[in-house]
Amino acid sequence: MASNKEVHASSIGEAFEMFFKNIKNYFADFGKALSKGDIAVKLSTVLMGAGYFARKKFIVGLLTMLMEAAFIFMCIFYAAPNLAKFGTLGDTVRSTQFDPLTMQNTVIEGDNSFLILLNSVIVLFLFVVFILLWIHNIKRAYELQQDYEKGVHINTFVEDVKSLFNGRFNVTLLALPTVGIVLMNIIPILILIAVAFTNYDQQHMPPSALFTWVGLANFKNIINLSSGSSAFGYAFFKVLGWTLVWAFFSTFTCFLGGIVMAKLITYRKVKFPKFWRTLFVVTIAVPQFVTLLLVRYFFGDTGIVNSFCASIGITDFLKSIGLVASHLSYIPFLTHPGWAKFMIIMINIWVGVPYQMLIATGVLLNIPESQIESAKLDGANTWQIFWHITMPYVLFVEGPTLITDFVRNINNFNVIYLLTQDTFVTTNQTLANANAKEVDLLVTWLFRLTNDYYNYKMASVIGIIVFVICAVFSLIAFSRFLANGREESYQ
């Protein structure tokens, strides 16, 4: 076994350095195994498992050989036909031909660009996995050779299996979850990335039509601000702006609201704190799609809030100060861009504050009592204690969660979709050309592009950009909050 000692990186730069060092070591070990290995190790490069046979590990050797055979089989019957067309993503369009025997038109299936892409991605992924296994097989053969030369005991097959529940239990534990993650996360992400470089959209829909590689055209399209043929550049920067504004406000309003609410409820003068807390928690226990849809009709143009506001004169007042256009007889809570953005953030406070309150209550309870006591002895008042002791502590504990919340809000699909879908109609023609709306987040825009307009190429580009944004924020956050030495400061 290699050394189990772990070195922690304290900055992104060091992390990268370590990463490259690890890669270097990985290949250095491989080279050493190849050059210093005996005939069995060298034979392993062609005939995988040879190294195992040489050390009398017949079952493992046989299994490895079978795996190699299966891989070769896969290459011939699955990989080759798909990879052959990977460069063009297919060239035969589906066509119909008149069949004189049956007197009917028969469909001749052409190439399906998407299937070629999908299968090729899977094949390429399998190639990478196979190469890693191949390298592992050679290294392992060399290790066995060394063990043999030193006279170290070599495990039998039964011992190998037993070690899967002891020393190598991690392999057993991680195998199935990894398969799941590959299937549900890695392969889809790879496909998404590939699609961003194609012209896969409504005009190029398999199986009736083909699509092909277009290089960086889609990326150019999305940062192209000149409003010529497409409005995507314009829409993209508008939607991106609102996404960031939304993520910032929704995160911080809920965070601060949660602390204030928690402070309020745990304040010693408040009667029945448990009752109030349960009341707030019940509001988040009702599923979001129920409450949000309900609230959407609550604030509808002809909804009950509007009736109420009209009857007590709020609507007229808002008209007189110019917040509501004079030709409207209602307050456009969720139908006017400005109002809708404001209301969405407000409604999100309604949704999010109880959650944050729950967390904040727990955090506040854990504040080291001694610090507050000593501050009191030094004559600090309530506000000073709040700003100089409570807040730093809360920020310390909740810092990472805050960033995850920010990232989650960038992708907060539910709130925006359930509040505005079907009710908000954009009047901005340029935005409408790109199938976007003022209140859209990048993710809701992406969802509409794929679900309603089949514009997969642009959706993929947006998906990649969102990922990059989220990754940057998370990496900055994690390196700041989880840097070494910071973890122990409150322990």
Partner 1 sequence: MENAIKRNDNFYLKEEKLRSKKKTELVSTVVINVLIAIFALIWIIPIVWLLVTAFSKYTGIDTMHFFPAQGWTLNNFKVVLFEPDSVCQYVAWFKNTFVIAIFSCLISTTFVLMVSYAFSCMRFKGRQTMMKFSIILNMFPGVLSMIAVYFVMKQLGLTNSHVGMVIVYSAGSGLGYLICKGFMDTIPTTIREAARLDGASEAQIFFKIILPLSKPIIVYTVISAFLAPWADFVFAKLMLNSGISSDWTVAIGLYNMLGKDLKSHYFSIFCAGGLLISIPISVLFLLMQKYYVEGVTGGASKG
> Minimum distance from CB of 138 to partner 1 (Å)?
17
Q: Are 266 and 463 in contact (CB under 8 A)?
A: no
Exactly one of 233, 258, 352, 354 binds partner 1 (CB under 8 A); which one? Answer: 354
Closer residue to partner 1 (CB): 40 or 410: 410
Q: Is 66 in the site for partner 1 (CB under 8 A)?
A: no
Closer residue to partner 1 (CB): 43 or 117: 117
- CA atoms of 237 and 225, how far apart (whole Å): 9
Residues 261-300 that bind partner 1 (CB under 8 A): 261, 264-265, 267, 269-271, 276, 278-291, 293-295, 297-298, 300
- CA atoms of 114 and 89, how far apart (whole Å): 8
Residues 370-409 that bind partner 1 (CB under 8 A): 396-401, 407
Query: 219: which residues sit within 8 A by CB, 6+ positions away?
Result: 196, 461
Q: Is 249 in the site for partner 1 (CB under 8 A)?
A: no
Q: Is 453 in the site for partner 1 (CB under 8 A)?
A: no
Q: Is 342 in the site for partner 1 (CB under 8 A)?
A: no
Query: 364: which residues sit within 8 A by CB, 6+ positions away?
Result: 259, 262, 263, 266, 390, 394
Q: Is 476 in the site for partner 1 (CB under 8 A)?
A: no
> Minimum distance from CB of 41 to partner 1 (Å)?
20
- Phi-psi domain of 305 (left: phi exceeds 0; alpha: psi -120 through 50; beta: other): alpha
- What the block records as the tokens of 292 is 């949000």
Helix segments in 197-287, DSSP class H: 217-223, 232-266, 273-285
Closer residue to partner 1 (CB): 17 or 99: 17
> Minimum distance from CB of 155 to partner 1 (Å)?
15
Residues 171-200 that bind partner 1 (CB under 8 A): 172-174, 176-178, 180-181, 183-189, 191-192, 195
Helix segments in 312-381, DSSP class H: 314-320, 337-365, 369-377
Q: Is 102 in the site for partner 1 (CB under 8 A)?
A: no
- CA atoms of 66 and 471, how far apart (whole Å): 40
Binding piece for partner 1, criterion CB under 8 A, among 37-45, 60-68, 73-81, 112-120: 112-120
Please calculate the CA angle 50-52-53 and round it to the nearest 5 degrees: 65
Q: Is 219 in the site for partner 1 (CB under 8 A)?
A: no
Residues 133-152 that bind partner 1 (CB under 8 A): none
At 37, is the secondary structure helix, strand, or coil?
A: coil
Q: Is 317 in the site for partner 1 (CB under 8 A)?
A: no
Closer residue to partner 1 (CB): 200 or 232: 200
Residues 34-63 that bind partner 1 (CB under 8 A): none
Q: Is 30 in the site for partner 1 (CB under 8 A)?
A: no
Task: Kindly determine how many residues on this chain lie close enough to bind partner 1 according to the rule CB under 8 A.
Answer: 105
